[in-house]
Structure 1
Amino acid sequence: MIRLPAIAAVLALCVTAVTAVVSPAADPWLAIEGGDGPGKGKHVVLISGDEEYRSEEALTQLGKILAKHHGFKCTVLYAIDPITGEISPNKQDNIPGLEALRTADLMVIATRFRNLPDAQMKEIDDYLRAGKPVVGMRTATHAFNIPNDRAYAHYGNGYGGDKKEWADGFGRFILGEKWISHHGHHGGESTLGIIAPDAQDHPILRGIKDGDIWGPTDVYGVRLPLPADSQPLVLGQVLAGMKVDSAPVTGAKNNPMMPICWVKTYSMPGSDGVPAGPSGRVFTTTMGSSTDMLSAGTRRMLLNACYWAMGLEKVLPEKSIVDVVGPFEPLAFGFNGAKKGVKPADLQ
């Protein structure tokens, strides 16, 4: 004879098992609610997805700084393995959650050679057609690599198709430059920021002086002059080592110095290729690895850029708070070096 307590225990186990099966999976992105601050009521969407520079770490930390210290609501998106639900930077064709751009006031992007499906690319395209602001970091100059037979092939790095206004792709047309080269020796020569001539009074440089911006990533090469209304803000002095106090290299690498951040505007073209959409502000930096984020000056540059891009420079403090939020021990840049087994929910 089976006793009632035993039956009740079995039923309880069954209910628990069923509940575990039907419980919804955690969202494959990180939502960080903002608090009080100048950014209250504004929504920033940060799009990671690169194999080398740990954008999944850099943008998570930037999102936390924006939310916790400044009040912005932040949604951080990741390259996700759809089977495991884990962050997988080598997964080039899946960044779920781009629908968040529909309510975004700012898009921060740090992807590298992504080949996203048309439905995901449409969210980015719709955002840009609205003329909303963009902050592009490091490999965003070569954010996409989309085959020529696809609807959004013109976003691809080095695009050379019929849409002449999109020559060289998203990087050149929206951000101001595509992938060109490693100007500094990759992994051996770090970058020190020197304020560009006549740029010191720009709001993005508020609270920043020569030498405050530093990172172990090397200076990227760009074509000079930068296109259209681009304005260089900071030049990258190539250092002969991987420490902030390393001496500058001598010779042509620092003469002239390459811009490592600049501002510009964009306007999406109409069917005739002529700019027809509303104009949006753009900030581009060729810095932005997670290890670059260890520098308070680099964090301040990025934070100030977010304010400026959204037209909030009037409420930008003289020296913005950029203290790291929570534990932050970024991994060194390099391929196949991302932390394994991490889901967005683990990054709260």
Structure 2
Amino acid sequence: MTRFFILHFVSLLSIASLSNCRGAEAIPLRLRHQVETQSGSGIYHRLEKDATWSPSETALIVCDMWDAHHCYRAVQRATEFAPRLERLVGKVRDAGVTIIHAPSGCTAAYEDTRARKRALDAKPASDHPPKIADWCTEISASEMAVYPIDQSDGGEDDSPQEHAAWAKKLEASGRNPLSPWMKQMDAITIDQSKDFISDSGTEIWNILQELGIKNVILTGVHTNMCVLGRPFGLRRMAMAGKNVVLMRDLTDTMYNPAAKPYVSHFTGTDLIVDHIERHVCPTISSDQILGGKPFRFRNDRRPHLAIMVGEAEYRTSETLPRFALEMLGTDYRVSWFFPRADDKNRFPGLDQMSEADALLISVRRRTLPADQLEIVQRFVQSGKPVVGIRTASHAFSLRGQQPPEGCVSWPEFDATVFGGNYTNHYGNDLKPAIELANADAHPLASGWKPKPFQAGGSLYVVSPVAKTAAVILNGKVDGHPAEPVAWTYQRSDGGRSFYTSLGHTKDFEQPEFNELLKRGIDWAVREVAH
């Protein structure tokens, strides 16, 4: 009995001392979140906001980084990012951040450890949020949102052969193949002198309140299930009023690409991160603390394509997201830039464009503030690939008008970036017939035999395009010469460009156009290192 009271006293003393012996240096962060361009639009600006968090008021919760899992590929991915997470845990711990290890269902393995007893000995809080002990599957901010992936099959993405072999191995080692976890993986250090171990929402809330913690970082697996839904997860912490964020690059989803929306596993994770940033809480990335670049799985080889949409005539704010999900969801990581609803010349968050490997533009006669146009110009001058559709030929120029005050035009954009020469278009009632210019003219068309089709919109007058442009498709209307409607161009800065004057709403209903645009993007980014 005496020994119990001594241990209990030491645990309480350790908790008290933690709040008084923290590193004083604040942690600078960039919190990324998304807001609708206007209410009900269904399209979002992706924004960043600077924040400074005091270590003594911050906790890092490591969610369900178990020593095993029933999904073989999930184990491989968690094992892959564990060393980076270990570095992160060590760095923020040294800075004075509270570390809470939450290997759900496994706390019995730590029954006699100081870190587990420290969690049990935290002073019971007087302000437990409603249902803090329960899973949280939805919060009011997201109840009207459509969940972006189908995880009803459990999200396992193993091949049948992998899954069977893994289950056999788990069983041979004495584990239940359906729930083989027994503790947290050894790759993540538990500092018994400082850290806490708990999978209880109530216990973790006690810890947060006793230490005066206002800020919570969630990392671990799996984002769409445990990280979001556990009693200590993102939804519950957001509901309870904590400043909670997801460490978006040190996590993983349970998503099977054989399920809707039929995108790659990594795109499935991106879609969940988008959902979180829109409806639950902001996110951060580990490079903000560790330096370097964000963590990326070795099998995630998707180039990052930024899509800039700023036109109302052809509704590409609707057609391009559908195209991106259906045609690019397996091979590309996609981010978006849209104009403000109250100022069509300003694109919030455009400074993030520099992170992308390639740019697709669907913009019509917008003159940007000088600093934003410079972002686009720097992107082009860096030699990165640029793709344009329809009105991109006159994206940043006005016809016979001066730019609004503070805005700048770029009338040379078409010729400089696409080798184009847009001057006008034929009547809207003249729908051009579209055909291959020369089946052997370009690698983009290799093995592709598109059927001739009728474009949905008018034929642009663009002749002559640059001599070095390689024309892929021509369009023809009665009584007029043929006009190029799709071509590639090698820019003077060394970058590749692909442009098509197609892109009318009805064009996206044509399989040939969707294939053309996908091929154009693929050609433009083919030599991008990723």
TM-score after normalising by structure 2: 0.41
Specify which of 501, 515, 518 is matched with residue 300 of structure 1: 515
SS at match of 1:209: coil
Tell me the CA shift for residue 207 of structure 1.
4.9
Corresponding position: 1:134 with 2:373: no
- What CA deviation, in whole Å up to 9, does each residue of 1:85-115 have, x standing for no partner? xxxxxx4212223233212111000100112
**TM superposition shift of 1:230:** 1.1
Secondary structure in 2 matching 1:309: helix
In the superposition, relative to structure 1, how do residues 230 and 18 fare at CA in structure 2: closer, same or farther (>3 Å)? same
User: Matched residue of 1:136: which SS?
Assistant: strand
* SS in structure 1 of the partner of residue 384 of structure 2: coil
The residue aligned with 2:369 is 117
* AA matched with 2:516: M
Whether contact under 8 Å (1:106, 1:310) holds in the other structure is: yes
| Partner secondary structure for residue 48 of structure 1 | strand
Return the alpha-carbon distance in structure 1 between the equivalents of residues 494 and 308 of structure 2: 21
Alignment correspondent of 1:191: 432
Question: Secondary structure of 2:487's partner?
Answer: strand
Structure possessing the higher relative contact order (Cα contacts under 8 Å, 6 or more residues apart)? 1
Could you say what secondary structure the match of 2:363 adopts? coil
Q: Quick check: 1:290 aligned with 2:505?
A: yes
Task: String of CA shifts for 1:119-146, please: whole Å, max 9, x gaps.
Answer: 2212211111111111111000100137
How do 1:73-92 residues align onto structure 2 when only pairs under 5 Å count? Answer: 73-81=333-341, 91-92=343-344
Structure 1 counterpart of 2:340, which letter? Answer: I
Q: Relative to structure 1, is the Cα distance of residues 263 and 9 closer, same or farther in structure 2, using a 3 angstrom cutoff? A: closer
Q: Distance in 2 between matches of 1:181 and 1:200?
A: 29
Q: Which residue does the alignment assign to 1:71?
A: 331
Amino acid at match of 1:307: D
User: Which of 460, 476, 481 in structure 2 is aligned with 1:220?
Assistant: 460
The residue type paired with residue 77 of structure 1 is: F
SS at match of 1:227: coil
| Amino acid across the alignment from 2:326 | I
Q: 1:230 aligns with which of 435, 454, 469?
A: 469
Aligned residue pairs total 247
For residues 39 and 21 of structure 1, do their structure 2 counterparts lie closer, same or farther at Cα, with a shift above 3 Å needed? closer
Per-residue deviation at 1:213? 4.7
> Post-superposition shift, 1:153?
4.0
Task: Select the residue among 474, 485, 489 that pairs with 1:260.
Answer: 485
Between structure 1 and structure 2, the one with the greater Rg is 2
Distance in 2 between residues matched to 1:149 and 1:79, nearest whole Å: 15
Aligned counterparts of 1:151 and 1:204: Cα–Cα separation in 2: 40
- What's the counterpart of residue 524 of structure 2? 309
Alignment TM-score, normalising by the size of structure 1: 0.61
Report if aligned partners of 1:235, 1:260 keep a CA contact under 8 Å in 2: yes
RMSD over aligned CA atoms reads: 3.5
Q: Is the 8 A contact 2:385 2:496 kept in 1?
A: yes
Gaps of 5+ in 1: 1-6, 25-31, 83-90, 158-168, 239-248, 268-277, 314-348
- CA distance in structure 2 between the aligned counterparts of 1:221 and 1:21, rounded to whole angstroms: 57
Counterpart residue type for residue 424 of structure 2: S
8 Å CA contact retained: 2:360, 2:387 = yes
Aligned 8 A contact 1:208 1:301 in 2: no
By percentage of residues, which structure has more helix? 2
Counterparts in 2 of 1:195 and 1:145: CA distance versus 1, 3 Å: same
Deviation at 1:116, TM superposition (A): 1.6
Partner of residue 418, structure 2 = 175
Give, as a single letter, the amino acid of the residue that structure 2 aligns with 1:220: Y
Q: Is the 2:369–2:408 contact (alpha carbons within 8 Å) kept by the matching residues of 1?
A: no
**Identity across the alignment (%):** 24
Work out the CA distance in 1 between the residues paired with 2:382 and 2:237: 47
Q: Is 2:303 the partner of 1:42? A: yes
Which residue identity does 1:142 align to in structure 2?
A: H
